[in-house]
Amino acid sequence: MSSTANPNRSNNLPGFDPMMGQLEVLESGIAMFHGFANVAFAYGRGEMIVVDTSSRLMGAMAVRAIREVSDEPFAFLIYTHGHGDHAFGTEAFIADALTRGHARPKIWAHEDVAGRFKRYALTRGWQSHINRLQFGGAFATDGLFEEKSFSYPDLVYRDEQFLDLVGEPVELHHGMGETDDATWLWMPTRRLAMVGDLIVSSMPNTGNPNKVQRYTLEWAETLEAIAKLAPRYILPGHGPAYRGEELCVEVLRETARALRIIHDEVVRRLNAGEWPVDIVEAGISIPADLAAKPYLRPIYGCVPFVVRDVIRRYAGWWSGEPSQMFPATRKDHGSDIMALCGRQAILERARTLKDSGQLKRALAIAEIALNANSSDTEAITLNAEILEAMAASERSFIARNFFAGAARQLRDRTK
């Protein structure tokens, strides 16, 4: 996930993390602060490692929670990836260290985190815009993606890095998934994995509609590599921890299996000469036994987004529809359809479809009227109503917020 969460709006994700805002001790020397993004840490040996620093808003809250358990110096702050909800709370940790007269903690991360921060600065307006929409306006995104928000790593690695926490080995491993800059930690003597957003109590968020390429196949491979180690604990980037080897291995293997099924089906269809638009319309799904897993609910990411991610990884931007190579403007196309059918018939048809619950089809028709005349208040209101109905029935937090946000923008135009 990305950006800075307001914990009071966490009910946007029902059932996502019942321990939100609390500190959980998993076993002696290992604990996790449940923020919107989790902050895991190892302590009790004279100094601490902290995995992720939470967000601009919640970094100080995470520090306060950690300080209730330990007053040891932070040896290392380790980013699982460079998203704002995981790596933007660092200043609070550094300030705490300096206030206590401790040395400034060193930040470890994968070598590609710095490139991510540079891209955020380059596209800061876009990042603010899409994250405000994705998280339903729950975030203060103003100025969030500017250089002053970033605490760059002091130390970087490429494939793996072996650290020592006062005699306890800690391994950093690179594996692509939600991001290209991801790190998962392995503490071999405890058989404990801290995996960042590779596991988030939902169908993985690969194929986010507004964000850069994600890595469905590599995601599956990384989860399989962690499963081979037979962890006793998984500490995820969001949501509850998993305990016990049997459950940990199941979550890793089954999530990987779901991703592979979607990936392989898209690739099979591409190889058979299907166009992206055909593959999207095919309605690819995962088997019922996987869909029923609580950790694969489509509450954040969802299967259609994964399908898009795989298409984008291997194909170009063209949908395969000839009209879309050099498309007519939506205004011209809308006007043509309106001239053929008449405005009243279009609005009537959209309303009938909406009333019978066929919301996707209703929206497709209602959009034609709006495209033809963007100040048609009846069309604006009808589009908003359909989008609100779609938001109300949508399980994916991301899609739900985009529908609700689009409806809100339309409603604002009629005020």
Q: How far is the CB of 236 from Zn ion (least distance, A)?
A: 9
In order of 4, 39, 253, the CA distances from 59 in angstroms are 10, 9, 32
Q: How far is the CB of 197 from Zn ion (least distance, A)?
A: 4
Which residue, 383 or 401, is less far from Zn ion as judged by CB? Answer: 401
Which residue, 37 or 251, is less far from Zn ion as judged by CB? Answer: 37
* Residues 133, 139, 142, 145, CA torsion sign: negative
Q: Which of 360, 346, 267 is nearest to 312 (CA)?
A: 267
Q: Is 181 a residue that touches Zn ion (CB under 5 A)? A: no
Which residue, 3 or 161, is less far from Zn ion as judged by CB? Answer: 3
What distance in Å separates the CA atoms of residue 190 and residue 199, rounded to the nearest whole number? 19
Binding segment for Zn ion among 147-155, 191-199, 241-249, 312-320 (CB under 5 A)?
Answer: 191-199
Q: How far is the CB of 96 from Zn ion (least distance, A)?
A: 22
Q: Is 17 a residue that touches Zn ion (CB under 5 A)? A: no
Burial of 145 (0-12, 13-18, 19+ CB in 10 A): buried
* Residues 59, 62, 68, 73, CA torsion sign: negative
22 contacts: CB under 8 Å, gap ≥ 6? 33, 34, 65
Q: ∠ CA(172), CA(156), CA(93), 5° rounding?
A: 85
Q: How far is the CB of 1 from Zn ion (least distance, A)?
A: 3
Out of 52, 72, 85, 218, name the contact with Zn ion by CB under 5 A: 85
* Interface map 33-52 toward Zn ion (x if CB under 5 A): ----x---------------
Dihedral of the CA atoms 233, 234, 237, 238 (nearest 10)? -80
Q: How far is the CB of 178 from Zn ion (least distance, A)?
A: 7
205 contacts: CB under 8 Å, gap ≥ 6? 1, 178, 197, 214, 300, 301, 305, 398
Which residue, 222 or 319, is less far from Zn ion as judged by CB? Answer: 222
Output the residue with the shortest Cβ distance to Zn ion: 1
CB atoms within 10 A of CB 245: 14
Q: Which residues of 174-185 are buried (b: 16+ CB within 10 A; e: fewer)?
A: bbbbbbbbbbbb
Binding segment for Zn ion among 85-93, 164-172, 201-209, 385-393 (CB under 5 A)?
Answer: 85-93
DSSP 3-state of 109: strand
* Interface map 221-260 toward Zn ion (x if CB under 5 A): ----------------x-----------------------
CB atoms within 10 A of CB 143: 11
Q: Is 180 a residue that touches Zn ion (CB under 5 A)? A: no
Out of 1, 107, 199, 390, name the contact with Zn ion by CB under 5 A: 1
Q: Which of 288, 281, 280, 282 is nearest to 306 (CA)?
A: 280
Q: Please give the size of the binding site for Zn ion, defined by CB under 5 A.
A: 6
Q: Which residue has the tokens 């799904």?
A: 285
Q: How far is the CB of 177 from Zn ion (least distance, A)?
A: 11
Which residue, 52 or 218, is less far from Zn ion as judged by CB? Answer: 52
Out of 52, 96, 180, 197, name the contact with Zn ion by CB under 5 A: 197
Q: How far is the CB of 355 from Zn ion (least distance, A)?
A: 39
* Interface map 308-337 toward Zn ion (x if CB under 5 A): ------------------------------
Which residue, 37 or 353, is less far from Zn ion as judged by CB? Answer: 37
CB atoms within 10 A of CB 370: 22
Binding segment for Zn ion among 43-51, 88-96, 189-197, 353-361 (CB under 5 A)?
Answer: 189-197
Report DSSP state, residue 234: E
* Interface map 119-158 toward Zn ion (x if CB under 5 A): ----------------------------------------
Which residue, 85 or 385, is less far from Zn ion as judged by CB? Answer: 85
Query: Which alpha helices (H) appear in 100-208, and where do they start and end?
Result: 113-122, 124-134
Binding site for Zn ion (CB under 5 A): 1, 37, 83, 85, 197, 237
